[in-house]
């Protein structure tokens, strides 16, 4: 399979916008890819927004953004929308996109999958496409009880070491999620192992994305 590279050299700034509904979505969906991009494109910068960052979860989200993006992190935007209620506050959520995100004009955007079973995730995915109409958007996946995983089309092979770092960060930082039966390192590693198999990754591991539009 021929590999495609992003249209930036290692010296050029690569502006990445990471969008998540809840604390831990970005990290679960594309944490390994963020770690790899930071290595591959040293001049990249990560803009970060989490729409439901309440209480202790906001502390965790800040810490995670700092760990994953490191010195390349631009001031993270943390909003206080209630988990599960975003579609009912659509106007306020859209205003964040219009007033705080649109002007960033990122080169690459990570957002939720439009087919995700979670209503907040779907709203954020839709607003991403509404707001950024001439941008490169990759939709990440979040494993969950609902069983909504699909057939992604873009793969980012990752070294096992990167996957292990991602999972270690997830387990260390998001202590508030440890009572969820699925929030286990096996869940995260298993999905990356399956995606690695699908793209024939040398390491055996990968993260995967849905891409609606790609310009060569
Ligand atoms: Zn979420």
Residue 10, pLDDT score? 87
Q: Count the Cβ atoms, other than its own, within 10 Å of residue 42.
A: 11
Q: Which two tokens stand for residue 87?
A: 């579609």
For residue 202, report the distance from its CA to the centre of ligand 1, in Å: 30
Residue 149, pLDDT score? 96
pTM: 0.97
Residue 78, pLDDT score? 97
For residue 33, report the distance from its CA to the centre of ligand 1, in Å: 18
For residue 178, report the distance from its CA to the centre of ligand 1, in Å: 15
Angstrom distance (rounded) from CA 87 to CA 19: 16
For residue 75, report the distance from its CA to the centre of ligand 1, in Å: 21
Burial class of residue 128 in the structure, from the number of CB atoms within 10 Å of its CB (0-12 exposed, 13-18 middle, 19+ buried) = buried
Helix (H) or strand (E) holding 41: none
Q: Check: CB of residue 35 under 8 Å from CB of residue 165.
A: yes
On the question of pLDDT at 65 being above 90, the answer is yes
Q: What is the pLDDT of residues 7-29, one digit of tens each?
A: 999 899 999 999 999 999 999 99
Residue 73, pLDDT score? 97
Q: Check: CB of residue 102 under 8 Å from CB of residue 177.
A: no
What is the mean pLDDT of the segment spanning 188-201?
98
For residue 92, report the distance from its CA to the centre of ligand 1, in Å: 18
For residue 115, report the distance from its CA to the centre of ligand 1, in Å: 13
Burial class of residue 136 in the structure, from the number of CB atoms within 10 Å of its CB (0-12 exposed, 13-18 middle, 19+ buried) = middle
Q: Check: CB of residue 95 under 8 Å from CB of residue 65.
A: no
Q: What is the pLDDT of residues 78-106, one digit of tens each?
A: 999 999 999 999 999 999 999 999 999 99
Q: What is the pLDDT of residues 156-194, one digit of tens each?
A: 999 999 999 999 999 999 999 999 999 999 999 999 999
Mean pLDDT over each residue of the chain, to the nearest integer: 97
Q: Report the Cα 98 to chain-centroid distance in Å.
A: 20
Nearby residues for ligand 1 (ion, Cβ within 5 Å): 21-22, 25
Q: Count the Cβ atoms, other than its own, within 10 Å of residue 13.
A: 12
Angstrom distance (rounded) from CA 100 to CA 117: 26
For residue 5, report the distance from its CA to the centre of ligand 1, in Å: 29
What is the mean pLDDT of the segment spanning 132-139?
97
Q: Which two tokens stand for residue 26?
A: 């970005």
Angstrom distance (rounded) from CA 106 to CA 9: 16
Percent of the chain with pLDDT over 70: 100
For residue 42, report the distance from its CA to the centre of ligand 1, in Å: 28
For residue 164, report the distance from its CA to the centre of ligand 1, in Å: 21
Residue whose structure tokens are 């980012």: 156
Residue 119, pLDDT score? 98
For residue 1, report the distance from its CA to the centre of ligand 1, in Å: 32
For residue 23, report the distance from its CA to the centre of ligand 1, in Å: 7
Helix (H) or strand (E) holding 30: helix 25-40
Angstrom distance (rounded) from CA 56 to CA 67: 17
Q: Count the Cβ atoms, other than its own, within 10 Å of residue 126.
A: 16
For residue 10, report the distance from its CA to the centre of ligand 1, in Å: 32
For residue 142, report the distance from its CA to the centre of ligand 1, in Å: 8
Q: What is the pLDDT of residues 99-126, one digit of tens each?
A: 999 999 999 999 999 999 999 999 999 9
For residue 103, report the distance from its CA to the centre of ligand 1, in Å: 24
């Amino acid at each position: 399979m021929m590999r495609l590279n992003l249209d930036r050299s290692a010296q050029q700034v690569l502006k990445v916008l990471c969008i998540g509904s809840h604390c831990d979505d970005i990290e679960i969906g594309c944490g390994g890819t963020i770690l790899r991009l930071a290595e591959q494109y040293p001049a990249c910068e990560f803009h970060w927004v989490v729409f439901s960052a309440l209480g202790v979860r906001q502390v965790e989200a800040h810490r995670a953004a700092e760990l994953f993006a490191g010195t390349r992190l631009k001031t993270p935007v943390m909003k206080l929308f209630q988990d599960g209620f975003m579609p009912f506050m659509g106007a306020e959520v859209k205003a964040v996109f219009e007033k705080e995100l649109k002007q960033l004009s990122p080169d690459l955007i990570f957002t939720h999958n439009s087919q995700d079973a979670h209503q907040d995730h779907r709203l954020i995915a839709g607003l991403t496409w509404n707001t950024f109409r001439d941008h490169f958007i990759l939709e990440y996946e979040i494993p969950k009880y609902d069983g909504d995983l699909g057939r992604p089309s873009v793969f980012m092979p990752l070294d096992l070491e990167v996957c292990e770092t991602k999972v270690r960060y997830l387990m260390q930082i998001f202590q508030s999620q440890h009572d969820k039966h699925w929030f286990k390192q096996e869940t995260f590693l298993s999905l990356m192992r399956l995606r690695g198999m699908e793209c024939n990754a040398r390491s055996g591991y990968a993260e995967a994305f849905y891409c609606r539009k790609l310009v060569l």
